[in-house]
Amino acid sequence: MSEAEPAPTVSIDAPWNALYIDGEWITPEGRDQIDVRNPTTGESITAVPAASVEDVDRAFEAATRAQADWATTTPDERAAVVRRTADLIDEYESEIREILAVETGATKSRHDIEHGGTVTFVHDAASFAFRASGGHNQSKIPGKENIIQREPVGVVGVISPWNVPLKLSIRAVAPAIALGNSVVLKPAQESSISGGLLLARLFEEAGLPDGVLNVVPGEGSVAGDRTAAHPDCDVVAFTGSTEAGRFVGQNAIDHFAFPALELGGNNPHVVLEDADLDQAVDAGVFGTFWNQGQVCISINRHLVHESLYDEYAERLAERAAALKVGDPLDDDVVIGPIINEDQRDEMMAYIERTVEEGGTLLTGGEADGLFVEPTVIADVTNDMAAACNEHFGPVAPIIPFGDDAEAVELANATEYGLAASVHSADRGRARDVADQIEAGMVHVNDQTVNVEPHVPFGGVKDSGLGRYNGQWIIDEFTQTKWTSVQREPRQYPF
C-alpha cells in the first residue's frame, strides 16, 4: 500500500483518492475505483478507492483499539473535539457548500439548511458527553447500593446515504464520538466526499485521536455488507431504503448488534376543508420540491379535501412550473439534478405509469439529462405508481378525499410510517387527525421536512427502528450497566 500525499485539505479540488484508517490517508494498490461524478455536468470529480472486505476489517481493528482509550477520556475532552469540528464546519462554509453542490447537486436552499443544520447538530452532540447519565436506586436488601451507569457501546458502524450526506452522516458520527465510541463510516458511493472523507478531514483537524473515526468508501455489497456484519460492530446506524435496511438489519442482528435503521417513507400532506389554502400550498411546494424531492421525509402524496381539490391542484401546479431548474451553483436555482440515471429512470417510470393509470399531468413530466421538471399530477388514487411507491423526486401526486376518516385511511394505506403533515384552521381537529396517522413524526400546519436536534427523529412500520437525536440517540449509542455495592455484611439464608 502507498500513502496519499499529503492529507487532503477541505476543497472540492483536494486529493480525495484515499481511505482513512487509523489516522492515515491510504491509497491501497489494486483496488477498484469509485468514479465520483458531478451530476450537473456529468464530469468526473475524482476517483476514490473502493474499500475491500480486508480494508473494512482493518478499520474495525483500528476502531476497536482506539475505542478503549477514547472511552477513558474525560467528557470535556470529547466535547472539545466535537465542538472544534462544528467550528471547522463554520470556518470552511464556502468550501463545504461547493462540495455539496458539485458532488450531489445541492441547490442553495439545500446547502443553507444542510450546512446550518449540521453545525447545530454537532454542537448539540458535544453536550452528549455530559448527558449520558445513570442513576442511584434504592435496594430491597439492607446495606446495598444500586448504581446504574451509562457506558459507550464500543464501535458504531455508520452507513450513510447520498441525499443529505454531510448532515445524515454526522448526526450519527458526532454523537457516537461524543459518547466515547469509535466509528467506522461507510458513505454512499455518490457522496464519498461529502458523506465520508470530508468528515475524516474535519475530525482529524479537530484533533480526534487516530482510529476513533475510520472512513471506508466503497460498494454497498462489499464495504457496506461487511460493516453491518462485522462481529466487532456493536451498533449499525443505517439510513437508506427499506429494502436495503432489511438486509442491513439482518446482518446486524446475526451478531447481536443493535440496528438503528432510518428507512423509506411515503409521507402524506393532508389538507382538510377548513385549511388556510395559502399556507397549505406554500408548505406543499417546499415539502415536495426541496432537494428535488430526494428526501426520506419529503411529501410523497398530497391528500386534499374534495372542496379544495381543484384550486389546490391549480395553484400547486402554477407554483411548481415557476421553480427555476438548473445548475445548483446558481443561487436562484431551486431544482438541481437528480443524483444519477437510475434514480431518474425510476421516478420517470412512476410518472409515466401514473398517467397511463388515469392521472392528469398538470405540469412537468419531462427530463433533460438528470434534470427532472417539477411535476404535478391530479386525479390520482392511492394505488397509482407515483402514490404507492416512494418516488424520491420532484413529483406531487394529488389525491382527493371526502372526510377526515377517509383522509386518515388514505394516509395510513402504506407500509411506511415516517412523517406526515396536517393542515386545518382548527388546531384541535388537526391534532385529532394527526393522532390517528401511523407515523413517527406528524406536523400540524406545516410540511413534512422538519428536523430538530433535540427531538426524536424516526418512523414506524417499514420506516425503520430506533430514533436519532437527543436522549434517544444517547440511549442507542450507550449501554446500561448495573453495579451493586454491599456496604454492610449481608445475612444469607444458608
Q: What is the pLDDT of residues 320-347, one digit of tens each?
A: 999 999 999 999 999 999 999 999 999 9
pLDDT tens string 173-225: 999 999 999 999 999 999 999 999 999 999 999 999 999 999 999 999 999 99
Q: What is the pLDDT of residues 470-480, one digit of tens each?
A: 999 999 999 99
Mean pLDDT for all residues in the chain: 96
Instruction: Output the 3-class SS for 401-460.
Output: ECCHHHHHHHHHCCCEECEEEEECCCHHHHHHHHHHCCCCEEEECCCCCCCCCCCCECCE
Residue closest to 42 by CA, chosen among 340, 436, 402:
340
Which residue bears the cell 447537486? 105
Q: Measuring CA to CA, which residue among 220, 232, 191 is closest to residue 12?
A: 191
125 and 469 Cβ atoms separated by less than 8 Å = no
Catalytic, out of 103, 114, 204, 296: 296
Residue 452 annotated in active site: no
Q: pTM of the predicted model, to two decimals?
A: 0.95
Q: Confidence band (pLDDT; 50, 70, 90) for 9?
A: confident
Question: How far apart are alpha carbons 248 and 246 in whole angstroms?
Answer: 6
Domains of the chain: 2-263+463-481 (3.40.605.10), 267-444 (3.40.309.10)
Supply the pLDDT for residue 29. Answer: 87
Residue 157: the pLDDT is: 98
pLDDT digits (tens, 9 = 90+) for 221-233: 999 999 999 999 9
The predicted model gives 68-73 an average pLDDT of 98
Q: How far is CA 456 from CA 29, 328, 441, in A?
A: 43, 31, 8
Options 103, 190, 262, 373, the catalytic residue: 262
> Among this protein's residues, is 233 annotated catalytic?
no
H or E element in which residue 200 lies: helix 198-205
Taking 50 as the threshold, does the pLDDT of residue 5 lie above it?
no
Contacts of 327 (CB under 8 A, 6+ apart): 40, 333, 336
Q: Residue 459 and residue 6: Cα distance in Å, rounded?
A: 42
Give the tens place of pLDDT for each residue, 287-305. 999 999 999 999 999 999 9
Prior bond to 6 cis, omega within 30? yes
